[in-house]
Amino acid sequence: MRGFYLITTLVLFFAGSVSAQKKDLSKEYNYKMPGADIPPFEVKTTEGKMISNKDFEGYDKLMLVLFNPGCDHCQHLAKDVVAHYNAFKDVAIIYIGAKGVEEYIPAFLKETGLATIMDKKNIYVGTDQTKKSDTQYELSEFLYNLYEFRLPQVNIYDKKRTMIHRSLGEVDINTIIDKVSTQSSN
């Protein structure tokens, strides 16, 4: 009888370990590489509106720009987007900063000129409000899944919300324009 309890205990232990491993493996989806789906996100815009990845179904392309208002490369990219706005008029562009940068965004908008084109209805600027990750980091689930530690980070998604391009750090505006102007691979 003791042998039966020992075997049952071992079977239950290993079954629990395997199911726990399966559960952890499901969290290992890599959102950071081209071909990946867009991770769920919630952003509070500068106007106070909450937006998510589901709000942009009408656009063939969606461009996420992870940024910090004080980042020189982020400012340069924003100025380039303003200067080449006609190439982006049919693309949803969402600038996403981390929580805590809200007070610096108005100066960023003014200095880069983004404020002058935000009335175009396809440009959104705000801060990440996605639920906190269950990791050791003080990041939201969205930033934990996507952020690569160089800014700006530009991710471009097609109509199916599959990543077709990713740039980190200094961004070439001509490459970005090429990626948003090419046909989706639907």
Query: Looking at residue 136, what is its pLDDT?
Result: 54
Secondary element (H or E) of residue 124: strand 123-128
Query: Which range marks the domain in which residue 11 is found?
Result: 1-28
22 and 93 share one domain: no
Output the six-digit token pair for 47.
């106007």
42 and 70 share one domain: yes
Whether 108 is covered by a domain: the verdict is yes
CB 137 within 8 A of CB 144: yes
pLDDT tens digits for the chain (186 residues)?
A: 555 454 545 455 545 444 444 333 334 668 888 899 998 899 999 999 999 988 998 999 999 999 999 999 999 999 999 999 999 999 999 999 998 899 999 999 999 999 999 888 899 999 998 877 565 556 677 777 778 778 999 999 999 999 999 999 989 999 999 999 875 444
Domain count, the chain: 2
Which domain CATH number covers 61?
A: 3.40.30.10
143 and 60 share one domain: yes
pTM of the model: 0.79
Whether 109 is covered by a domain: the verdict is yes
115 and 59 share one domain: yes
23 and 35 share one domain: no
Tracing tokens 């890599």 back to the chain, one arrives at: 30
43 and 6 share one domain: no
Query: Looking at residue 27, what is its pLDDT?
Result: 47
